[in-house]
Copies of this chain bind each other. A is one copy, B any other.
Amino acid sequence: MPETAPAVPVIEVPIALGERSYGISIGCGLLEGASDWPGVPASTQALIVTNTTVGPLYAARLKAALQRRHPTVHVIELPDGEAFKDWPTLNLVFDRLLGDACDRKTVLYALGGGVVGDMTGFAAAAYMRGVPFVQVPTTLLAQVDSSVGGKTAINHPLGKNMIGAFYQPRRVVCDLDTLTTLPARELSAGLAEVIKYGPIADLEFLGWLEAHMDGLMARDTALLAQAVRRSCEIKAAVVGQDERESGLRAILNFGHTFGHAIEAGLGYGEWLHGEAVGCGMVMALSLSRRLGGIDAGFESRVKALIQRAGLPVVGPALGASRYLELMRVDKKAEAGEIRFVVIDRPGSAALRGAPDALVREVIEDACRPG
């Protein structure tokens, strides 16, 4: 048992996906109980995939707990950052798995943020055509985003997340204690994905976030638990209706089309993904207003919340043409037409095309300081 009693009761969020269903646990002191996590198959070997930042903080603790479940627990630390979300780095995981003669029952544990989760998930999907994996997200962004949905991927020099798989974990464990060591920039980046759920799906949650943003920024554990829970619930409801993103699920990419262009245009890793999404939401709100879905009041309200979360609201000046070029290779684009997630009325989102001229106005406005 951990010495410190949990600060908040453990919350369980079930993710209903038929035979691929699993559960998310949200609470404090959960790493220490890893040998009792439900839903994880038995195996003689396990591999903890982490990075050089998170590994030194938490890998030993997780390994000690897992050794009561798996006789052999390996650890691999990948270099940290979006710039390493690539094939050569992924291949280090395969080298390790094969070098240690890990069989097809070996369980992979992703201990880290979104990059570690996406890479470990894809490694698990592809190693011997599929081994079980468990997500242990240690950033707010990974807890609210990659813990639901089964999207795994690596980047290609010509595009983000272009090579991957839909592959579900057997269990997700969000230990809120790991957020205590999160840099402030990354806390803000995570809040971008939390805020997202308000305008696209839940106005009540938007109001709750406005009321509690100061507490969230101060890392109040009970508030963070509620923010993670509600984000996962909304995402689960959407993903449950559209696991492979043939339609509805695309609304979860609110702010991401513009955001991906920012990340690609600056070079991956310059801005954090959540920072780019925060600023991308500002652009998507502006587009939504110009298309008539929301009024200027709603736009300002959400933009103010994004700003209170410590996120950038002025886009990098790449030039509108460069933004458009980058957005045309977005995965949601079809036959060269960019499809934007826009708010069609407060609390509801839809996929829409938009005239290039209008998109240029949005970008030029959003990249103008002040």
For the complex, is A185 an interface residue (Cβ under 8 Å from B)?
A: no
Measured in the bound complex, the distance between the Cα atoms of B163 and A144 in whole Å is: 29
Residues 117-171 of A at the B interface (beta carbon under 8 Å): 125-130, 151-153, 156, 158-159, 161-166
Task: Tell whether, in the assembled complex, residue B87 and residue A165 are in contact, meaning their CB atoms are under 8 Å apart.
Answer: no
For the complex, is A355 an interface residue (Cβ under 8 Å from B)?
A: no
Task: Tell whether, in the assembled complex, residue A98 and residue B159 are in contact, meaning their CB atoms are under 8 Å apart.
Answer: yes
Task: Tell whether, in the assembled complex, residue B158 and residue A99 are in contact, meaning their CB atoms are under 8 Å apart.
Answer: yes
For the complex, is A230 an interface residue (Cβ under 8 Å from B)?
A: no
A94 in contact with B151 given A125-B165, A127-B163, A331-B128 (CB within 8 Å): no
| Chain A: interface residue total (CB-CB under 8 A) | 39
| Nearest neighbor of A102 in chain B, beta-carbon distance | B329
Which of these binds chain B: A209-217, A292-300, A332-340?
A332-340
Chain B residues in 8 Å Cβ range of A105: 334
For the complex, is A361 an interface residue (Cβ under 8 Å from B)?
A: no
Task: Tell whether, in the assembled complex, residue A98 and residue B165 are in contact, meaning their CB atoms are under 8 Å apart.
Answer: no
Task: Tell whether, in the assembled complex, residue A103 and residue B159 are in contact, meaning their CB atoms are under 8 Å apart.
Answer: no
| Nearest neighbor of A158 in chain B, beta-carbon distance | B98
For the complex, is A91 an interface residue (Cβ under 8 Å from B)?
A: yes
Candidate in A129, A151, A153, A165 with the most chain B CB atoms within 10 angstroms: A129
A162 in contact with B128 given A87-B87, A91-B87, A94-B156 (CB within 8 Å): yes
Chain B residues in 8 Å Cβ range of A95: 156, 158
Give min CB distance, A20 to chain B, whole Å: 12
Chain B residues in 8 Å Cβ range of A44: 335
Measured in the bound complex, the distance between the Cα atoms of B159 and A164 in whole Å is: 21
| Nearest neighbor of A125 in chain B, beta-carbon distance | B165
Copies assembled:
2
Give min CB distance, A197 to chain B, whole Å: 22
Task: Tell whether, in the assembled complex, residue B163 and residue A165 are in contact, meaning their CB atoms are under 8 Å apart.
Answer: no
Measured in the bound complex, the distance between the Cα atoms of B151 and A99 in whole Å is: 23
Task: Tell whether, in the assembled complex, residue B126 and residue A163 are in contact, meaning their CB atoms are under 8 Å apart.
Answer: yes
Question: Could you say which of B101, B166, B328, B336 contacts A329, with CB atoms under 8 Å apart?
Answer: B101
Residues 89-108 of A at the B interface (beta carbon under 8 Å): 91, 94-95, 98-99, 101, 103-105
A336 in contact with B159 given A126-B165, A128-B331, A129-B151 (CB within 8 Å): no
Residues 310-336 of A at the B interface (beta carbon under 8 Å): 328-329, 331, 333-336
Residues 224-245 of A at the B interface (beta carbon under 8 Å): 244-245
A101 in contact with B164 given A87-B91, A128-B331, A244-B130 (CB within 8 Å): no
Task: Tell whether, in the assembled complex, residue B130 and residue A166 are in contact, meaning their CB atoms are under 8 Å apart.
Answer: yes
Give min CB distance, A108 to chain B, whole Å: 14
Question: Could you say which of B87, B129, B161, B334 contacts A164, with CB atoms under 8 Å apart?
Answer: B129
Give the 8 A-B CB pairs with smallest separation, nearest first.
Answer: A98-B158, A129-B164, A126-B163, A44-B335, A128-B331, A103-B334, A129-B166, A101-B329
A residues within 8 Å of B by Cβ?
44-45, 87, 91, 94-95, 98-99, 101, 103-105, 125-130, 151-153, 156, 158-159, 161-166, 244-245, 328-329, 331, 333-336
